[in-house]
């Protein structure tokens, strides 16, 4: 996976090291951190672009994010695509799980780009996504509270 910052600069460290280093730097500088992980996707013809973000929120002092983008050529139904988004976020959170164990003062949320309003197509995957995320032991947020996926990842997808 190739990670970058919003300004386009590449993150050269493995993502696990980059996240831990960032948490250490921010907390040593007095920031109270919350980390939100989310993924969004957009269909463009036969291609699906996925963007996964790690958003670092400094309480009362703004935030920043790390971004990973990937394009796949595959046809997917809406439910499958929504679950694929959630899976990418959960997999990343799980890969970083020993960081959350070490830094229990940093809260973690998984954001799903799934609408809680049943009139939206993405709602077909709400219960599955919520069960998946909560079943893995993570805090779940859906639209309109899922800014990491519905705003941050959406802008870089």
Q: Which two tokens stand for residue 118?
A: 């049943």
Tokens found for residue 32 = 């109270």
- The parts of the chain modelled with pLDDT lower than 70 are 1, 157
Nearest one of 60, 57, 76 to 152, comparing CA atoms: 57
Q: Alpha-carbon distance 125 to 65, whole Å? A: 26
- Angle (CA) 44 75 84, round 5°: 90
Domain boundaries, the chain: 3-156
Query: What digits encode the pLDDT tens for the residues 60-84?
Result: 999 999 999 999 999 999 999 999 9
Handedness of CA 50, 54, 57, 62 (dihedral sign): negative
Strand partners, 71: 49
Cα dihedral angle (121, 124, 127, 132), rounded to 10 degrees?
A: -90
Q: Are 106 and 22 in contact (CB under 8 A)?
A: no
Token look-up 């990491």 returns 148
Three-state DSSP at 8 gives coil
* Rounded-to-integer distance, Cα 9 and Cα 148, Å: 20
- The pLDDT score that the predictor gives to residue 115 is 82
CATH class of 3-156: alpha beta
Predicted pLDDT of residue 157: 64
Q: How far apart are CA 39 and CA 157, in angstroms?
A: 9
């Amino acid at each position: 996976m190739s990670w970058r910052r919003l300004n386009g600069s590449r993150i050269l460290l493995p993502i696990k090291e980059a996240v831990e280093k960032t948490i250490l730097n921010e907390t040593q500088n007095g920031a109270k951190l919350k980390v939100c992980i989310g993924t969004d996707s957009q269909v463009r013809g036969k291609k699906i672009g996925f963007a996964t973000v790690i958003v670092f929120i400094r309480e009362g002092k703004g935030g920043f994010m790390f971004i990973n983008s990937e394009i796949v050529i595959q046809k997917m139904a809406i439910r499958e695509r929504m679950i694929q988004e959630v899976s990418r976020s959960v997999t990343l959170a799980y890969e970083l799980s020993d960081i959350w164990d070490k830094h229990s003062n940093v809260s973690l949320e998984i954001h799903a780009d799934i609408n809680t309003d049943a009139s939206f197509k993405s709602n077909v995957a709400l219960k599955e996504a919520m069960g998946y995320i909560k079943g893995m032991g993570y805090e779940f947020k859906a639209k309109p509270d899922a800014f990491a996926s519905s705003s941050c990842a959406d802008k870089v997808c």
